[in-house]
Amino acid sequence: MSGNRFADTFRHKGLRKQLAETVRKKGITDENVISAIEAIPRHWFFDSSFLEFAYEDKAFPIGSGQTISQPYTVAFQTQLLQVKRGDKILEVGTGSGYQASILYQMGAKVFSIERQRALYQKAKEMLPAAGFLVKTFFGDGYKGLPTFGPFDKIIVTAGAPFIPEALIEQLKPGGIMVIPVDDDDGSQTMTTVEKAADGSYEISQHGKFRFVPLLGDKVHD
97 secondary structure, DSSP code: S
Contacts with ligand SAH in 143-162 (CB under 6 A)?
Answer: 157-158
Distance of alpha carbon 85 from alpha carbon 162, whole angstroms: 29
Indicate if 69 belongs to the active site: yes
Q: Does 124 engage in binding with ligand SAH (CB under 6 A)?
A: no
Phi, psi of 15 (to 5 degrees): -65, -35
Task: List the one residue from 114, 167, 179, 180 that touches ligand SAH (CB under 6 A).
Answer: 114
Q: Does 115 engage in binding with ligand SAH (CB under 6 A)?
A: yes
Task: List the one residue from 40, 55, 83, 93 that touches ligand SAH (CB under 6 A).
Answer: 93
Contacts with ligand SAH in 169-208 (CB under 6 A)?
Answer: none
Q: Does 214 engage in binding with ligand SAH (CB under 6 A)?
A: yes
Q: Does 98 engage in binding with ligand SAH (CB under 6 A)?
A: yes
Distance of alpha carbon 219 from alpha carbon 206, whole angstroms: 30
Q: How many CB atoms are located within 10 Å of the residue 162 CB?
A: 10
Q: Return the active site residues.
A: 69
Name the residues that contact ligand SAH, by CB under 6 A: 66-69, 92-93, 95-96, 98-99, 113-116, 119, 140-142, 157-158, 212, 214-215
